[in-house]
A and B are shown apart, each in its own frame.
Chain A
Amino acid sequence: MALQDICCYLDTLLGAPWNSSSSLSLPFGTEHTDLYSTTSDQKNFFSGTPLERCGGSPLRFFLPPPQIRGQFGKASSFLSNSSPTSSAVARPFPLSHGTTTLGFAFQGGVIAAADTRASCAGLIACPAAHKIQPIHSHLVVTTSGSAADCMLWERILAREIRLYQLRHRRKLSVTGAAKLLSLMLHPFKGTDVCVATTLCGWDRETAEGDEGRTQQDPISSSYNGTSSQAVSDLNQIRPKATAVGRTGPKVCYVCSDGLMLNEDLISVGSGSPYAYSVLDDGWRWKMSVDEAVSLAREAVYRATHRDAYSGNNVDLFHITAHGWSRREREDVKEEYYREKERVWYDRLQIKLQFYAEHVLKFED
């Protein structure tokens, strides 16, 4: 095929090793260390096509030139005497990443919300981006940082989760997926990879059941909605036992610095301080679904109002034990005009009341 020829794609029927079971079971880290050793890969490193550099396998992807992390983790490029192509590629323009994404868990599931503006310094590159991507039926990822990096790492995460599911016949938990992503991102610490994601999902009970977890059973069963009595036991604050429980709503933050946090309420991006203040005021574990949805929408709306790099629309996903469902995208412009009218109407009421109380009295 013409495209294959142009890309110098190796014919897989010739027995390239990438589709053999042995290479599939290689942990991710070994591919990284291979490139730094003096193997045949090294020869292709500077001169070969991107595919040749990976040893002919589409599953191993090309790592950037080795960088030394200076003191305090700042990246400095490693200048090799042998080839001029080994210096770090200069960026054509300064990368900036503005967004507002948030995710929180409550008794009715997990809400993931984000704006839809993809900005690049002062330009709105895309007013209708998708910052929330579903990975599988019970896991959704909100992305912020560099859009290209996020797209790539989302796909890598989806691939690894699917492979895990095929190998072990169960879905990886949200914390497990977050840990996996964090470990995969660690070799790139100090480079320009900029990914800050929130994994929002629902952990389901495994087929084997949880025999040994008598303490957590009454609480975990409540998440399946089977016991209405258990729901009334849930306090204002989320019961602490469920923080390490196997099932239920989960929100995890992973960033390319290596930080991984398990928390009920996370907001990421340039608009996150504004969103946090609205969320902290309104979040309760016992919220209803409608309250949670309107809180998330309000938080993103307020952040888009104040943050120049967030705006356009609000995307909202709701994840429950039955999977994720997507709300229709809403334009923040509508909310802004609605609020303006509301404020105008309220002020009119106050004026009329004042008139009625003070002016009309004298006339009587």
Chain B
Amino acid sequence: MEYLIGIQGPDFVLVAADNVAASSIIQMKHDYDKMFKLSEKILLLCVGEAGDTVQFAEYIQKNVQLYKMRNGYELSPAAAANFTRKNLADYLRSRTPYHVNLLLAGHDETDGPSLYYMDYLSALAKAPFAAHGYGAFLTLSILDRYYRPDLTREEAVDLLKKCLEELNKRFILNLPSFTVRLIDKDGIHDMERLPLGPQ
């Protein structure tokens, strides 16, 4: 039902998430933001069970901010990803596991851009491109085919548009709009919301 996608370039990461907040068959909100800003250069995209997403993502968000307050510098994306994974794994075999699927995207001064894929069983993988949701079945092969490590920003947006067009064509559910953001050395940039209707 929900869809997340991330594409890593040589010096940026492009991420997009759909904007639908649904409750059974009803779309309750059409402009829901599924991205959580962990720090100036890290975004956490979170989908999954209704209350778990916000609860878990905000918990991670506040802890990352607490780290910065205590130590004076921000966590790197790799550290944040592993911290998130550890928390998810700890809760997995407790009485209250969180059923969330995540993408963590960030830019580090020393390591450059990075994209991490994490699922509800707290499996963590660093990947050049990734997607979550039923839409991932339709778009991963497009990413496999056209992705190159040296994509420019425009090419990455075109690749993203290709994926969203395929969703529009073949995915049974209507996902009318997507929030798109780009992370590079200058921080997080909001890009224009991608419409999914016929052009």
Contacts and interface: CB of A to CB of B under 8 A. Distances in A.
Interface in B45-80: 49-52, 54-55
A258 B54 contact: yes
B95 A68 contact: yes
Nearest to A256: B51
Contact of B51 (A72, A189, A266): A189
Contacts of B49: 72-73, 257-258
Interface string B101-139: 000000000000000000000000000000000000000
Interface in A61-89: 66-69, 71-73, 78
Nearest to A276: B26
B96 interface: yes
B55 A261 contact: no
Given A73-B52, A255-B23, A263 B97 contact: no
A114 to B, nearest CB: 17
A66 B49 CA distance: 21
B34 interface: no
Contacts of A189: 51-52, 96
A260 B54 contact: yes
A57 interface: no
B32 interface: yes
B21 A190 contact: no
| Secondary structure of the A contact surface, majority rule | mixed
Given A255-B50, A257-B49, A259-B23, A67 B29 contact: no
B173 interface: no
B25 interface: yes
A276 B49 CA distance: 24
A155 interface: no
A66 B55 CA distance: 20
Interface in A163-194: 182, 185-186, 189-190
Interface residues of A, number: 26
A136 to B, nearest CB: 25
Contacts of B25: 273
Given A69-B96, A69-B97, A72-B99, A258 B50 contact: yes
Contacts, number: 53
B191 interface: no
A261 B28 contact: yes
B28 A253 contact: yes
Contacts of A68: 95
B28 A182 contact: no
Contact of A257 (B32, B50, B95, B96): B50
A263 B51 contact: no
Given A182-B51, A255-B50, A261 B26 contact: no
Interface in A239-289: 253, 255, 257-263, 266, 272-273, 276
B100 to A, nearest CB: 11
Given A259-B23, A261-B32, A263-B29, A73 B99 contact: yes
Contacts of B21: 259, 261
Contacts of A276: 26
Contacts of B54: 182, 258, 260
Contact of A186 (B28, B51, B99): B51
Given A71-B99, A189-B51, A258-B49, 15 more contacts: A67-B95, A68-B95, A69-B95, A78-B95, A182-B54, A186-B55, A189-B52, A255-B50, A259-B23, A261-B21, A262-B29, A263-B28, A266-B28, A273-B26, A276-B26
Interface of B: 21, 23, 25-26, 28-29, 32, 49-52, 54-55, 95-97, 99
14 contacts: A66-B95, A73-B49, A182-B54, A186-B55, A255-B23, A257-B51, A258-B49, A258-B52, A258-B54, A261-B28, A266-B28, A272-B26, A273-B26, A276-B26
* Cβ-closest 8 pairs across A and B: A258-B51, A257-B50, A259-B50, A263-B29, A261-B29, A68-B95, A257-B51, A258-B50
